[in-house]
Amino acid sequence: MRVAKAGRIATYEGAHWWLNCLGTGLCGSCVIEVRDGMENLTPRTKLEEMHLSEFPRAFRLACQTEIVKGSVTILTRPKIEAQPRY
């Protein structure tokens, strides 16, 4: 999230821009999709598992995701539909 904020990259959609949990992981509104470099990120947190249990492992919460090494390619505000986990 810090990298996104520094780069002025929008991670919230609609009203979530103003109504969010300020990075505590409670609202689940800052969903991103990791396109490349998943191995360079911290593991999913328990809050992410709770909010994203029905979505592919590539979906993360920006506020709970940290880059630990290397580079990562993400899609902010991905289209979210009910999907089976794979």
Question: Looking at the domain assignment, is residue 81 inside a domain?
Answer: no
CATH code (residue 67):
3.10.20.30
List 67's β-bridge partners, or say none.
41
64-70-10-29 Cα dihedral, nearest 10 degrees: -20
Q: Distance (Å, rounded) from C-alpha 55 to C-alpha 83?
A: 6
Q: How many domains does the chain have?
A: 1
Domain that residue 56 falls in: 2-76
Question: Looking at the domain assignment, is residue 84 inside a domain?
Answer: no
**Does this model's pTM top 0.85?**
no
pLDDT over 60 (residue 27): yes
**Which tens digit of pLDDT belongs to each residue from 38-69?**
999 999 999 999 999 999 999 999 889 999 99
Question: Looking at the domain assignment, is residue 71 inside a domain?
Answer: yes
DSSP code at position 20: S
Question: Looking at the domain assignment, is residue 83 inside a domain?
Answer: no
- Which residue is it, tokens 């009910």? 82
Picking from 14, 52, 54, 39, the residue whose alpha carbon sits closest to that of residue 62 is 52
